Amino acid sequence: MKAKRQLCIGMSIAVTWLTGNGWRRPDSRVEEIYSADFYRDLARRAEAAKLDFLFRPDTLFINPHSAARSPAFSSLDPSLLLAALARETRRIGLITTASTTFSPPYLVARQLQSLNWLSNGRAGWNVVTALDGHRNFGLDSMPPSAQRYDQALEFTDLVRQLWQSYPHDALTVDRQTGEYARAARLRAVNHHGRFFNVEGPLNVPDAGTGAIPLFQAGASAHGRDFAARIADGVFAATPDIAAGIELRADLRRRAQAHGRRPEALRVLPGLSLYLGKTRREARELYQDTHAGTPRNQQYDAIQQMLGLDLSRLPLNSRVTAQMLPAAAPQARSQTHADLLRRLIVQQQPRVADLLKRPEVIGSAHWLVVGTVDDALDDIIGRVEAGAADGFIALPGGSPQSLDRLFDELIPRLTQLGLFRRDYRGATLRQHLGMDPLD
């Protein structure tokens, strides 16, 4: 590489290697995914590899049809899980997810500051507006995207105010005088906004390790602007290098327009890794993982995202921009819909190829199906092109992808000087380069 700047590397603990048919493998340990020991072992391996953080995405609903075929997004509560892992690790960052659409700001502020104390400054917050689950929280429908992000902005600002409402230096703990804290330094936020009314102050003091880093994953226009305002890291869906370059450049422009340093925002694409000893082995792993995905499910996914019914077209037919409806439907994931639309406009894929797209059968993340060398070349190419500042690993298909990430890929990046050999800092802020190292 031209300049060996250090990559920021995290890993999702959403057990992505158990999706599709991955859970059916004899070595999957799927029976253990609600056990603390399963995640303890995973966290210790990630910390031994010196990763910057563990990242736990979350949903607040479950689709019974999906649950019938795989673990889907059923999961332990992310904040409780990461609180447990805080006791089992010492250095690795712990990023939990909390929704600004469904959760009360005071509760989220308290949970995050509690996790920050329990982990000695290693907590992070993945700020999401959520895509679904409204019926579990008394809503008849999801609010429009613009409203959700307006609410998220007010929510995030309020949480930050609450974190500051009980400052660390208010704690005196003076046994001689009997003063535990200086009451004058605690201050109510007295927030009366469009969406929330909160008095404060928070009943958990600031941990004294600096503001908790914020992550965000929205890639729509509203999501990008929100990320440019508040995020320290962006969990990005960028299936190709051009999408990564465009997203990173746009986010940096937006951040600067909001008075922030562009480099303060780190773009960290999800990297879906299906790794084998050979490319053939990796392709077979990918194919086996997704074998049996119902064809009607793939057609339905495309129609829901694009309003395009391809079920009557021959598989070798080209899908062109002229076939796209003028009025696109309101997609559940606008990010996936925008990426598919862009692909059709630029490449005119065949129906058969479109049905195999990650956005249709899985996710819109950057995908590597190959050897560790292939993954290494792809990572270097993306970073040199300005498409990423690192990545969040999403091992796929089998524990072998996880093993090759830890045992081969990370050591290779270290040997090339692209990733550190050991932790230098103790907090998530230090891992992300937000605070000077002691």
- 122 alpha carbon, distance to own chain's centre: 16
Confirm if 430 and 308 have CB atoms less than 8 A apart.
no
**What is the distance between the alpha carbons of residues 227 and 267, in angstroms, rounded to a whole number?**
10
Angle at 234 between CA 63 and CA 413, to 5 degrees: 105
Confirm if 226 and 149 have CB atoms less than 8 A apart.
yes
pLDDT digit string (tens) for 92-121? Answer: 999 999 999 999 999 999 999 999 999 999
pLDDT digit string (tens) for 126-145? Answer: 999 998 899 999 999 999 99
pLDDT digit string (tens) for 370-421? Answer: 999 999 999 999 999 999 999 999 999 999 999 999 999 999 999 999 999 9
Query: Which pLDDT score is estimated for 438?
Result: 65
Q: Is the pLDDT of residue 205 over 60?
A: yes
361 pLDDT tier (thresholds 50, 70, 90) = low
Percent of the chain with pLDDT over 70: 95
Residues 6+ apart with CB under 8 A from 300: none
Query: Which pLDDT score is estimated for 177?
Result: 97
User: 110-114, 129-133, 154-158, 341-345: which has the minimum mean pLDDT?
Assistant: 341-345
Binding-site residues for FMN, in ranges, read: 58, 97, 149, 220
Domains and their CATH numbers in the chain = 8-279+366-432 (3.20.20.30), 294-356 (no CATH)
Binding-site residues, in ranges, read: 58, 97, 149, 220
**What is the distance between the alpha carbons of residues 335 and 329, in angstroms, rounded to a whole number?**
13
Query: Which pLDDT score is estimated for 3?
Result: 46
pLDDT digit string (tens) for 230-267? Answer: 999 999 888 889 889 999 999 999 999 999 999 999 99
Query: Which pLDDT score is estimated for 301?
Result: 78
Q: Read off the amino acid at residue 199.
A: E
Residue 283 burial by Cβ neighbours in a 10 Å radius (0-12, 13-18, 19+) = middle
* Residue keyed to tokens 């290697």: 17
